[in-house]
Amino acid sequence: MRNLNKSYLNSSKTVFLSKEMLYVSFMMLLFVGCGDTHKTASTLDINKDHIYIAAHRGGYENEYEDRAPENSLANIQNAIDHGFPIYESDVQRTSDGVFIIMHDATIDRTTNGSGVVAEMSGEEIQEYHLIYRTGEDSNEKIPLLDEFISKGDGKIIFKIDYKPELRYLDELLQQIKELKLQDRVILRFRYRKEIVEALENYDSDDRPLILFRLTTLSQFEELKSTFNPKMISIFTGSNSAFSEEQMQIIKLASKENIIIEAHAFHDNNDDREEYWAEQLKLPITIFHTRKPLLFQEFLKTRKGSTSH
């Protein structure tokens, strides 16, 4: 009987400990789950009151040391590791309808081959590798649009400068929709009435966030009256300050809670930080820069700057 009671007590203790361990395990899982601060990068979450760095072609300040040439899959991971929230890139289309990530209309400057993208097939494009600015070959192939965006894995937003404009627009939007990546892509165009009219034919849920680059106040007023923009881009030359007209656009857009993107150029000048400091005084949310690492360090030194 004593042995039976002892056995029962041991058994009960085991059951109690098992339940306790299950409870502790459950709470640990719950805690870990709640403690995971990773949030899927989405254009829907861009906050007008924060500052976001848009890395020009992903950033290539240390491309050779990082083994991450511009517009490569390796450079996406590099941009994510550095904490850049937005990756700027360009899209070209091959002769057989394959969208690739490439800044130039030819592959001459950035690969170990040569040729006009629009005259080459997707299969032919894949035969070449990207090169570093030193001229040395990398192991990176020219990325396709779908693998490029998918590589971001919800950790970075892609701002695509779409230079072909109306050409192949249907195909591009359809591919982004099929990949279900509308909320991870900002599609940028130079302002043209024809593009606005074409985009109005698409349901807002079927297209990514549209960004128009404006140069005049009349363009802003036209866009406001027809498109209800969520975001605009103000562009100046590499060494230019905003014009009086551009300052007026920035002021009006800010009052309308429209997100403003600007190019933080002047990157290669010794007085770039003075130029950037002046831009920070304005209600600009997204800073497009060719020196994202330098701009990131600059932001860290600025009191009151909230960057993402």
Burial degree of 273 (CB within 10 A; 0-12, 13-18, 19+) = middle
- Per-residue pLDDT band for 153 (boundaries 50, 70, 90) equals confident
SS3 87: strand
Amino acid at 217: L
Q: State yes or no: pLDDT of 33 exceeds 50.
A: no
* Calpha distance 243→234 (Å, rounded): 10
Closest CA to 280 of 267, 264, 291, 292: 264
pLDDT in tens, 75-115: 999 999 999 999 999 999 999 999 999 999 999 999 999 99
Q: Which residues pair with 89 in a beta bridge?
A: 160
- Per-residue pLDDT band for 30 (boundaries 50, 70, 90) equals very low
Q: At what angle do helices 272-280 and 292-300 cross, to 10 degrees?
A: 60
- Among residues 50, 82, 103, 129, the one annotated as catalytic is 103
* Calpha distance 276→216 (Å, rounded): 22
Q: State yes or no: pLDDT of 27 exceeds 80.
A: no
Q: What is the mean pLDDT of residues 280-307?
A: 87
SS3 14: helix
**Structure tokens that stand for 142 in this block:** 């020219």
Q: Is the Cβ–Cβ distance between 289 and 57 less than 8 Å?
A: no
**Structure tokens that stand for 55 in this block:** 């890395």
The secondary element (H helix, E strand) that includes residue 55 is strand 52-55
Closest CA to 149 of 118, 120, 186, 121: 186
So what's the pLDDT on residue 303?
Answer: 61
pLDDT in tens, 192-227: 999 999 998 888 888 999 999 998 999 999 999 999
So what's the pLDDT on residue 40?
Answer: 78
So what's the pLDDT on residue 307?
Answer: 62
Nearby residues of 237 by Cβ (< 8 Å), 6 or more positions away: 265
Q: State yes or no: pLDDT of 14 exceeds 90.
A: no
> Phi and psi dihedrals of 72, rounded to 5?
-115, 160
Burial degree of 134 (CB within 10 A; 0-12, 13-18, 19+) = exposed
- Per-residue pLDDT band for 25 (boundaries 50, 70, 90) equals very low
Q: State yes or no: pLDDT of 175 exceeds 70.
A: yes
So what's the pLDDT on residue 89?
Answer: 95
Residue with tokens 């297209």: 207
Mean pLDDT of the chain: 85
* Calpha distance 245→222 (Å, rounded): 15
**Structure tokens that stand for 195 in this block:** 């593009």
**Structure tokens that stand for 172 in this block:** 């591009």
pLDDT in tens, 118-127: 999 999 999 9
So what's the pLDDT on residue 203?
Answer: 86
pLDDT in tens, 236-281: 766 578 889 999 999 999 999 999 999 877 777 788 898 889 889 9
In percent, how much of the chain has pLDDT > 70?
A: 84
So what's the pLDDT on residue 59?
Answer: 92
> Phi and psi dihedrals of 289, rounded to 5?
-140, 145
- Per-residue pLDDT band for 15 (boundaries 50, 70, 90) equals very low
- Per-residue pLDDT band for 1 (boundaries 50, 70, 90) equals very low
So what's the pLDDT on residue 291?
Answer: 92
In percent, how much of the chain has pLDDT > 90?
A: 64
- Among residues 56, 263, 266, 288, the one annotated as catalytic is 56
* 50: annotated active-site residue: no
* 103: annotated active-site residue: yes
- Per-residue pLDDT band for 181 (boundaries 50, 70, 90) equals confident
SS3 53: strand
